[in-house]
Structure 1
């Protein structure tokens, strides 16, 4: 994992976890134990899906940079479909409060996106690869300059 990506993950996961803890507390007060379970499940789902997305995009950027944008769009669609399928599956569940689940899912997602945006804006990512000192000299100059000779 590149150093800027290694810094992005905690800077996104920590605020999202804090929002999740707040969502669990508020949901437990407003909807009881099932509300707390729903809020915790929503937050964990967001953290898991977004973490996997970040790791897959980082590996794509490292090994197949030409596919980076396409992979980002594909992962966005997979995330959307996964969340839609889970919402359809748990639509009428009695395991947890679905309203607490939905609000915590929304709050955690918005928090992750805001934190990721902030992390990328603060990251100092080089868009040009700096050259080594030897690579800056023309090829002819490298061949004609003797190493260590005194004139």
Structure 2
């Protein structure tokens, strides 16, 4: 993992973890232990989904940069499909409060994306490799006007 990728993941994971603690407190206050478990699990699911997606996209970007945009689309749609299936499987779970779980997923999703955008803006990753002027013109070649 490149240092920029690690900074972006940290920039999104730390606010998401704080949101998880806050969501668990709100869930406990509104729906008891089931609400706290549901909200915490929801934020955990959202954060882990996006972290795994970002790490896999970083791997694809380093290994096959020409496939980056297609892989980004595939990873994101796969994440949303798996999240939909997970929400459908856990909607009638006895051990968690369904609305608190959904609120935790939404809160985790929103905070993760905001943290990721903020981290991307702060990282300043160069997208063009600069080339030195002396290296771009071989020695002994003619100038554009035809004069040496």
What is the TM-score with the length of structure 1 in the denominator? 0.87
Q: Which runs of 5+ in 1 are unaligned?
A: 142-151
1:57 match: 57
1:56-104 Cα deviation digits (max 9, x unpaired): 1101111101111111111111111111101111111111001100001
User: How many angstroms does 1:133 deviate by?
Assistant: 7.6
2:146 match: none
User: How many angstroms does 1:123 deviate by?
Assistant: 2.0
Q: Which runs of 5+ in 2 are unaligned?
A: 142-148
1:44 match: 44
1:10 match: 10
2-side partners of 1:139 and 1:57: how far apart?
Answer: 41
1:89-139 Cα deviation digits (max 9, x unpaired): 111111100110000100010000111111112221212112368734515
The root-mean-square deviation of aligned C-alpha atoms, in Å, is: 1.5
Larger mean Cα displacement after TM superposition, 89-98 or 121-130: 121-130
Q: Is 2:19 the partner of 1:22?
A: no
2-side partners of 1:140 and 1:35: how far apart?
Answer: 75
1:149 match: none
Runs (4+) of structure 1 exceeding 2 A deviation are 130-137
User: How many angstroms does 1:140 deviate by?
Assistant: 3.8
- The 5 A counterparts of 1:85-100 are 85-100=85-100
What is the TM-score with the length of structure 2 in the denominator? 0.89
- Matched position secondary structure for 2:128: coil
1-side partners of 2:93 and 2:139: how far apart?
Answer: 70
